[in-house]
Amino acid sequence: WGRESWEIARSFVYPTAFDTEDVCAAPLPDETALSQEDIIRGVPIAKRRVQQAGLRIADLLESAFAPGPLVVEEQRLR
């Protein structure tokens, strides 16, 4: 998840916000501003990331609360 977000930031946000392809090699400005066009272009990416987060958390919750063997029941039957 973190790696995916970093890749998106590197390919979408950094070139626009910092006006460079290699943000690590360039001096960073004290401030940066995204234009309204940049924000509009980023909305589909943000929506997709929220959807992915929802699916991932749903999967984790399903795994965490999945029914398993009833240990109490098994012990009673022995």
Kindly state the tokens that stand for 2: 């973190």
State the residue range of the domain holding 37: 2-64
- For the stretch 12-66, pLDDT in tens is 888 888 777 777 777 777 888 889 999 999 999 999 999 999 999 999 999 888 8
pTM for the whole thing? Answer: 0.67
Note the pLDDT of residue 59.
92
In a domain? residue 45: yes
Report the distance separating Cα 75 and Cα 37, nearest Å.
64
- For the stretch 28-39, pLDDT in tens is 778 888 899 999
How many domains in the chain? 1
Note the pLDDT of residue 74.
52
What percent of the chain lies above the pLDDT cut of 70?
A: 87
Q: Of the candidates 18, 16, 40, 13, which has an alpha carbon nearest to the alpha carbon of residue 31?
A: 18
In a domain? residue 70: no
In a domain? residue 78: no
